Amino acid sequence: MRLVLLTLMALVAFAANSILCRLALRHGEIDPVSFTAIRIAAGAIVLVALVRLRGIAIGGNWPSSLALLAYAIGFSLAYVALPAGTGALMLFGAVQVTMIGTGLVNGERPQAHEWIGEGLSIIGLIALLLPGVTAPPLGGSLLMLGAGIAWAIYSLRGRRGGDPTGATAGNFLRATPLALLPIALQPQLHASATGVVFAVLSGAVASGLGYAVWYTVLPKLTAIRAGLVQIAVPVLVALVGIGLLGEPPSLRLLLCALLILGGLALATLYRPASRRPARAAASTR
């Protein structure tokens, strides 16, 4: 139960990142480069403070920090053009495919229902990207897919052990000067007070604390399971995007979401009948 609750907390934090980023960028409250820099810096401040309070050593490494930065900047640039729900579907669809593919390469072998569920999710993601009247912008789509691959790499590296909070703090701390550098080089960047608040909330709460929780959960999940559970995030993002941001759902988005999320449900929630008696017998002992 503790693992389930921590996982849910992390997924809510991921959803909050999409909503906060879209709120900040859709009306130009802040530019994507400044949003990313403030987000990373705020996350670093909160995480380093948390590490100091707990007496934990700062960990992390440069490859993970670069993956984190690549995800964050691609994420922000993509949300200039993409609706919240569409962007989240693309992001976590790319995460799912990357993490599951890595799991297969490393010897993890899903069962038949997991193969079918993964196939449905991939078909839904491809259908969402196909050209058409309601297709999302290609540039933003490619940026978000790249962000998803970078986040998958970051997550996979986070499964290698060590203290999760210390590692996350170190990764954010290393990424901060690189994220701040473009602000010094581009004086035309802008940020309103509202945009800064959204960026700070995204970095300090949804990113910093949320990622620390996710890092705690990751070592207890297989790469395939870690990839699949994250695809539940677009449900939260799409619902909030429709209700809070007034983003109308298109028929394409709804159908593709059904394929992607239906595949997730099949792969993660379904249990073959042959396995249920064994589980039931185990629970009675």
Domain residue ranges of the chain, discontinuous segments joined by + = 2-270
pLDDT of residue 201: 96
Task: Give the whole-number percent of the chain exceeding pLDDT 70.
Answer: 86
pLDDT of residue 231: 67
Lowest mean per-residue pLDDT among 40-44, 145-149, 171-175, 279-283? 279-283
pLDDT of residue 71: 95
Lowest mean per-residue pLDDT among 75-79, 199-203, 229-233? 229-233
Q: Is the pLDDT of residue 280 over 60?
A: no
pLDDT of residue 174: 96
| Selected residue with higher pLDDT from 222 and 42 | 42
Quick: pLDDT tens for 131-187: 665 678 889 999 999 999 998 998 888 776 668 888 889 999 999 999 998 887 776
Does the pTM exceed 0.95?
A: no
| Selected residue with higher pLDDT from 176 and 98 | 176
Q: Is the pLDDT of residue 279 over 50?
A: no
Quick: pLDDT tens for 57-66: 899 999 999 9
- Write a three-state SS string for the chain: CHHHHHHHHHHHHHHHHHHHHHHHHCCCCECHHHHHHHHHHHHHHHHHHHHHHHCCCCCCCHHHHHHHHHHHHHHHHHCCCCCHHHHHHHHHHHHHHHHHHHHHHCCCCCCHHHHHHHHHHHHHHHHHHCCCCCCCCHHHHHHHHHHHHHHHHHHHHHCCCCCHHHHHHHHHHHHHHHHHHHHHHCCCCCECHHHHHHHHHHHHHHHHHHHHHHHHHHHHCCHHHHHHHHHHHHHHHHHHHHHHCCCCCCHHHHHHHHHHHHHHHHHHCCCCHHHHHHHHHHHHC
d(CA 97, CA 91): 10
| Selected residue with higher pLDDT from 78 and 241 | 78
| Selected residue with higher pLDDT from 80 and 265 | 80
pLDDT of residue 127: 81
190: left (phi over 0), alpha (psi -120 to 50) or beta: beta
pLDDT band, residue 5 (cuts 50/70/90): confident
What mean pLDDT do residues 225-244 have? 74
| Selected residue with higher pLDDT from 190 and 243 | 190
d(CA 234, CA 90): 9
Quick: pLDDT tens for 260-269: 778 877 776 6
What mean pLDDT do residues 227-250 have? 75
What mean pLDDT do residues 34-46 have? 95
